[in-house]
Amino acid sequence: MPRRLSRRKLLLSTGAFAATAFASPIRAAPPEPSQITPQLVEAARREGKVVWYTSIDLPVAEKIAKSFEAKFPGITTRVERTGAERVFQRIGQEYASRIYAVDVVNSSDAAHFIVWKRDGLLAPYVPEDVARFYPPEHKDPDGMFASFRVWLSVIAYNTNLVKAEDAPRSFADLLDPKWAGKIVKGHPGYSGTIMTATYQMARDLGWDYFEKLAKQRVMQVQSSADPPKKLALGERAVMADGNEYNIFVMKEQGQPVEVVYPSEGAPLIVGPNGLFKNAPNPNAARLFQSYCFGVEAQQFIIDTGGLRSMHPGTTEKPGRKPFREIKTMRDDPAGVDKTADDIKARYAQIFRV
């Protein structure tokens, strides 16, 4: 069943959005690009805080928040970090009760922005950098959101437990009996990254791939940030999915992990940032949004977060495989939007949790 129907039903049953759901006019063009003006900074400072709901791995998210606070003193940033699917549920739950706590949202399931936009919850705002530098496929034509971060869901292994020559090279390799009981993976009911990855893999490899993978006695964790950490602990030797950016950061800290770009292509994950119409701190939200898409913040998420940026002014960190050299799967938020509920149900059936 398409996600739209069940969501609409949820909202209608709680009676909150019946009036606003379809009231928002379809925009023909994005609003004028906005710069960071002294007036905006001053207004943001008067609000004093910004609340950012995100699914980025917590230490990375808090670092981004701290860098914003350092640049604009007097505005505290509260990070609400949980898995993207739960961020989505949380906002739905809060909004249905008319609790407007979130200013800016960042989700690793880009399909969520389709839903929020359709429900008329987002506010149009285009930071100057987005208008000038971002490729069209990474910004909403109506100016509601843009790709704050891009990364991959990858295979990785613990270098203490697996020799480089024995490491899997493809998703198909993971079905080898020698990996039984040694694989860890995230959950699409929790993580937007894994939801997106599961969609792309089911589309390109077929659901029977997951049926075979489930027979490998997989250790099931929730967040896509957790499989890399389970690798670093030495709890499992290989991860079947999870964040490339965690692996980068850990490897550069000297932890025994190594990334593998599967030969079938690595699922491509896009995490947009958007503003809510009912944001309690609208000016701080705009300032934060503008900051997030500036070259400084984008370089920061590359350097300290291990993420990829769509800002052409940034440079990739040496030692990491350049983005354009990696074979990726095709991302398709609209496809995820249509099949998300089905994916969750099917996944639960196959992996039993």
Give the count of alpha carbons within 13 A of 141, CB side only: 4
Nearer to another protein, 235 or 316 (CB): 235
Alpha-carbon distance of 65 to 50, in angstroms, equals: 10
Site for another protein in 224-253 (CB under 8 A): 225-226, 228-230, 232-236
260 binding another protein? (CB under 8 A): no
- DSSP conformation class of 309: -
Cα–Cα distance between 126 and 103 in angstroms, integer?
A: 15
Helix orientation angle between 192-205 and 333-351, rounded to the nearest 10 degrees: 90
State how far the Cα of 233 lies from the Cα of 241, in Å rounded to an integer.
Answer: 16
In the complex, minimum distance from the CB of residue 2 to another protein, in angstroms, rounded to a whole number:
11
Site string for another protein, 88-117 (x = CB under 8 A): xxx-xxx-xx-x-xx---------------
Phi, psi of 206 (to 5 degrees): 90, 155
Of 79 and 249, CB closest to another protein: 79
Residues 327-346 that bind another protein (CB under 8 A): 341, 344
Identity of residue 278: N
Specify the residue, 7 or 138, whose C-beta has the smaller distance to another protein. 7
Which CB sits closer to another protein, 3 or 311?
3
- Number of residues forming the site for another protein (CB under 8 A): 67
**CB-side exposure of 156: number of CA atoms within 13 Å?**
31
* Sequence-ordered strand ranges (E) for 113-171: 122-123, 145-152, 155-158
Q: Which stretch binds another protein (CB under 8 A): 63-71, 122-130, 169-177, 299-307?
A: 63-71
Tell whether residue 57 is a contact of another protein (CB under 8 A): yes
Alpha-carbon span 102 to 97, nearest angstrom:
13
User: Residue 348 corresponds to which tokens in the numbers above?
Assistant: 């639960």
Q: Which is nearer to another protein, 118 or 295 (CB)?
A: 118
Residues lying near another protein in the complex (CB under 8 A): 3, 6-7, 9-10, 14-15, 51, 53, 57-59, 62-63, 65-66, 76-83, 85, 88-90, 92-94, 96-97, 99, 101-102, 161, 181-182, 187, 189-190, 217-223, 225-226, 228-230, 232-236, 255, 341, 344, 348-349, 351-353
